Amino acid sequence: MAYIEKRGKNSFRLNVIIGYNEDGTKILEQKTVKAKNPTEAKKQLTLFEAEILNGQYIKIEEKMTLNAFYQEWLEKYANDPNNLSPDTRQNYVNILKKRILPKYGHMKLVDIKTIHIVNFMNDLKKDGRRLDGKKGLLSPSTIANCYRTFNNILSRASEWKLIKESPSAPVKQPKVKTKKSDVYSKEELSVILNYLLEKPFHWQVLIFLALSAGAREGEIAALEFKHINFEKGVYIEQSLTEVVGVGVQLKSTKNERCRFVSLPSPLLAMLKKLKVQRTQERLLARDKNEWPDHFFIFANEFGKPIRPDSISQWWRRFTKKYKVKHIRFHELRHTSATLLINEGVHPKVISERLGHADISTTMNIYGHVLAEADQAAASHFDTFFEKKANK
């Protein structure tokens, strides 16, 4: 049953009875609308009732602001590690606090329109939008992260039926061109590894491991001796990340995939030697061990694991000191993959070693290297055809 009530000049309240309480009072869905006359109001009532009966009606929270909803989003979504990784959560929170909420936090959710998202994205492309005080434009990846953040919080508002649909949905996500990774050649690696022999033993092991296993910074920092099979290789099943105000925390790997990576015998021997050193440190630390339930490969004398970002910092200082070509530490991973490709290792094997969720990811990242290797392979047939032609 449905009926209308006149509320004022050209204003009507639509009432749809959806049930009754135990005491017999009506349970109503109500909506106030503007209409020229009762006939027009009844037409809107018919549509309103149909939406409810078909399960399409969304009761809009008209008064909630983006600032207020941010607290709901933080508590019920962002703080759950099953929804966002600690790094992603911190990135989203920073963008919301520094870029989005100062501009749109006071607005009601229902008042945020697609044009606001479009204007926000266009404004980010202007000069002077960096927050670090440096000159220049924001990088495409930063702009894309801002879009993902705004889209995430508005999508939750839509999912939770606070708004009918996310105003960010019609806005296309900015494209980010993937830069071609720089890698080391065999000759460059030979020089670098000779310099590395002058450094502390645990750094030698860490860099050799990065090159051999193609592991990410956080995965290397999270490795424990229990993950090492000293006859075959290493299981990579967790990662370390640093959360602002909390410190380093363990989490699953990027794709939540546990993988086994075979390692060369000399590196396994180095890991055995390092375990002896670390065991002695662990015994000396005794009750001062900061992570008693874990035995990290790369840690200080009190068992505290190395911070992932400190690995990159050390690598930069190392390459600067010896005046060798610097590439990002992460690109040692790409160097590992490229060397394997050039040695003719099957892409599926490389994909498994790198922990990619799908071989298509490997093909997309290293397609150009695979193409070059394929062309080099084809050139081996040149002499064969030359001999045939000369007969």
**Number of compact structural domains in the chain:** 3
Question: Binning pLDDT at 50, 70 and 90, where does residue 368 land?
Answer: low
In a domain, 164, yes or no: no
| DSSP string of 100-111, one letter each residue | IHHHHTTSBGGG
| 49, 82: one domain | no
Question: What's residue 256's pLDDT?
Answer: 76
In a domain, 389, yes or no: no
| 223, 115: one domain | no
Poorest-pLDDT segment among 87-91, 235-239, 257-261, 359-363: 359-363
- Under 8 Å between Cβ of 297 and 268: no
Question: What's residue 372's pLDDT?
Answer: 63
Residue 297 or 285, more confident: 297
Question: What's residue 374's pLDDT?
Answer: 59
Q: What is the pLDDT of residues 172-190, one digit of tens each?
A: 988 877 666 788 988 999 9
In a domain, 326, yes or no: yes
Question: What's residue 11's pLDDT?
Answer: 93
| 29, 96: one domain | no
Our measurement of the distance from residue 356's CA atom to the centroid of its chain's CA atoms, rounded to an integer in Å, reads: 14
Question: What's residue 178's pLDDT?
Answer: 65
| 327, 260: one domain | yes
Average pLDDT in the 346-367 region? Answer: 78
| 196, 80: one domain | no
Average pLDDT in the 261-280 region? Answer: 96
Q: CA-to-CA distance for 352 and 363, rounded, in angstroms?
A: 12
In a domain, 307, yes or no: yes
| 9, 73: one domain | no
Average pLDDT in the 34-49 region? Answer: 92
Domain that holds residue 42: 2-53
| 214, 123: one domain | no
Q: CA-to-CA distance for 24 and 149, rounded, in angstroms?
A: 46
In a domain, 264, yes or no: yes
Where is mean pLDDT largest: 20-34, 221-235, 279-293? 221-235
Predicted structure pTM score: 0.66
| 41, 137: one domain | no
Question: What's residue 60's pLDDT?
Answer: 55
Strands 11-20 and 26-34: antiparallel
Question: What's residue 389's pLDDT?
Answer: 54
In a domain, 391, yes or no: no
Question: What's residue 383's pLDDT?
Answer: 58
| 192, 269: one domain | yes
Our measurement of the distance from residue 158's CA atom to the centroid of its chain's CA atoms, rounded to an integer in Å, reads: 22
| 151, 222: one domain | no
CATH of the domain at 190: 1.10.443.10
In a domain, 25, yes or no: yes
Task: Say which residue the tokens 């956080």 belong to.
Answer: 218
Question: What's residue 58's pLDDT?
Answer: 56
Q: What are φ and ψ of residue 246, in 5° steps?
A: -120, -45
Crossing angle of the two packed helices 331-342 and 359-379, in degrees rounded to 10 = 40
Q: Residues with Cβ < 8 Å from 82, sequence gap 6 or more? A: none
Tokens describing residue 68: 């207020």
Task: Say which residue the tokens 């394997």 belong to.
Answer: 340
For the chain, what is the mean pLDDT? 88
| 26, 99: one domain | no
| 71, 46: one domain | no
Poorest-pLDDT segment among 31-40, 174-183, 280-289: 174-183
In a domain, 381, yes or no: no
Question: Binning pLDDT at 50, 70 and 90, where does residue 214 land?
Answer: very high
Tokens describing residue 362: 């490997």
The H or E element that residue 17 is part of is: strand 11-20
